Structure 1
Amino acid sequence: MTVRVMLVSPAMNAALREARFDGDAPLDPAGERSARAAAPALPRSGTALSGPSERCLGTAAALGLAARPEPALTGWDLGRWSGRRLDEVGAAEPAAVAAWMGDPSAAPHGGESLRELVERVGGWLDGVPGAEDGGVLAVAEPAVVRAAAVHALALPVKAFWRLDVAPLVLTELNGRSGRWNVRLGRPLTAPQGS
């Protein structure tokens, strides 16, 4: 049976603007306004889920979704780097950052490796049951969306670093375990100046 999974990246917040490793920061007022404005562009679905972070749950609420938290959609566990800025960690631990970005199995921060993230998200994706009711719509952190795309397309894990996921963008995956089609990057908001 064909499965339809639609992943929406959460709205902007202060941590994302500051290039911080996620942590668990809520939406700021601008992010909440953006999510409310994007709500009319959401596709219909039968099931609404959300990553358990405050940012994902806040985005789901602002989008008007009665989403239940899904632990498998938890953002990337970056251990002791969580909440810190990338430039700060890079200056303090350049070799660790280089290892983390160069080796998908490395986890110098004490959290989850990139390979483990892709495997976790891929396991969830392959386990989503087929639905006749419009599929699954989930608000998920950008790293989770990127990991889903890498898994669905059977890309090398290092391809993760070549994918960008902007706030409030819809990524659609259709298929089933072992055979997915991916539609990347449909913004839920009108471009500026439109």
Structure 2
Amino acid sequence: MTVRLTLVSPAASEALREVRFDDDTPLDPAGVARAEALAPALAASATAWTSPSARCRATAEALGLRAEPLDELAGCAMGRWRGRTLADVAAAEEPAVAVWLSDPSAAPHGGESLRDLRGRIGGWLDALASASGPRTAVVEPDVVRAAVLHALGAGDTASWRLDVRPLTAVHLTGRAGRWNVRMGEPLRVE
């Protein structure tokens, strides 16, 4: 069976603009308006999911999706860094940030490592591959990166080389062990 999965990154929010580790802040009015304007650009999907974060749930709703929040699609748990900006954390814990940026198995913040995130998302993706037909998930940018790395069998350190812009779509087509990836398509109304 072949599954067609579209991963959509959430609309911009204050946390994204401030380069802040998400603390479940909601979308601002501009993010909601942008997602609502792009709703016609997203192909209909009978099955849709969302990361449990407020910004992903709000983006899915604004896009007109009836999406079920799934805990397994949560963004990386950032422990004590949650809600802080990267600049603040780097100033206070420079060696810890350096380890986190260079070692995908490190979790100096007390949360989840990027390798663990990739394993969790890869397991979800492989289980999904037994289904067929179109599926959509509005998920955090780090979840998009983890899914792409898993699909391509790329090394964990490549995560830092994938830029996931707000309201873009990544399409995965295939099944466990063999995925094709179409990257970073901006949602747009023709």
- TM-score interval, normalised by the smaller of the two chains: over 0.9
TM-score, reference length from structure 2: 0.97
> How far, CA to CA, are the matches of 2:151 and 2:22 in structure 1?
24
Q: Is the 8 A contact 1:4 1:131 kept in 2?
A: no
* Alignment partner of 1:112 is 2:112: yes
Deviation at 1:46, TM superposition (A): 2.0
Q: Please state whether the residue corresponding to 1:19 is helix, strand or coil.
A: coil
> How far, CA to CA, are the matches of 1:189 and 1:113 in structure 2?
34
Query: Any residues of structure 2 matched to 1:70-109 within 5 Å, and which?
Result: 70-109=70-109
CA deviations on 1:159-187 (whole Å, 9 max, x unpaired) are 00000000000000001111100000010
Q: Is the 8 A contact 1:50 1:69 kept in 2?
A: yes
CA deviations on 1:113-133 (whole Å, 9 max, x unpaired) are 01001000000000115444x
User: 2:163 maps to what in 1?
Assistant: 164
> How far, CA to CA, are the matches of 2:157 and 2:106 in structure 1?
12
Q: Please state whether the residue corresponding to 2:11 is helix, strand or coil.
A: coil
> How far, CA to CA, are the matches of 1:43 and 1:122 in structure 2?
24
User: 1:60 maps to what in 2?
Assistant: 60
Deviation at 1:4, TM superposition (A): 1.1
Q: Please state whether the residue corresponding to 1:189 is helix, strand or coil.
A: coil
**Gaps in structure 1 of 5+ consecutive residues:** none
Deviation larger for 32-41 or 44-53: 44-53
Q: Is the 8 A contact 1:115 1:157 kept in 2?
A: yes
Query: Any residues of structure 2 matched to 1:1-194 within 5 Å, and which?
Result: 1-132=1-132, 134-189=133-188
Q: Is the 8 A contact 2:171 2:183 kept in 1?
A: yes
CA deviations on 1:106-154 (whole Å, 9 max, x unpaired) are 000000001001000000000115444x421010000000000000000
TM-score, reference length from structure 1: 0.95
Aligned pair count reads 190
> How far, CA to CA, are the matches of 2:171 and 2:22 in structure 1?
23
Q: Please state whether the residue corresponding to 1:48 is helix, strand or coil.
A: strand
Q: Is the 8 A contact 2:129 2:176 kept in 1?
A: no
Q: Is the 8 A contact 1:25 1:55 kept in 2?
A: yes
> How far, CA to CA, are the matches of 1:166 and 1:37 in structure 2?
17
Runs of 4+ aligned residues of structure 1 deviating over 2 Å after TM superposition are: 129-132
**Gaps in structure 2 of 5+ consecutive residues:** none
Amino acid at match of 1:188: L
> How far, CA to CA, are the matches of 1:130 and 1:110 in structure 2?
34
Amino acid at match of 1:127: A
Amino acid at match of 2:185: R
Amino acid at match of 1:170: A
Amino acid at match of 2:70: E
> How far, CA to CA, are the matches of 2:5 and 2:77 in structure 1?
23
Amino acid at match of 2:60: A
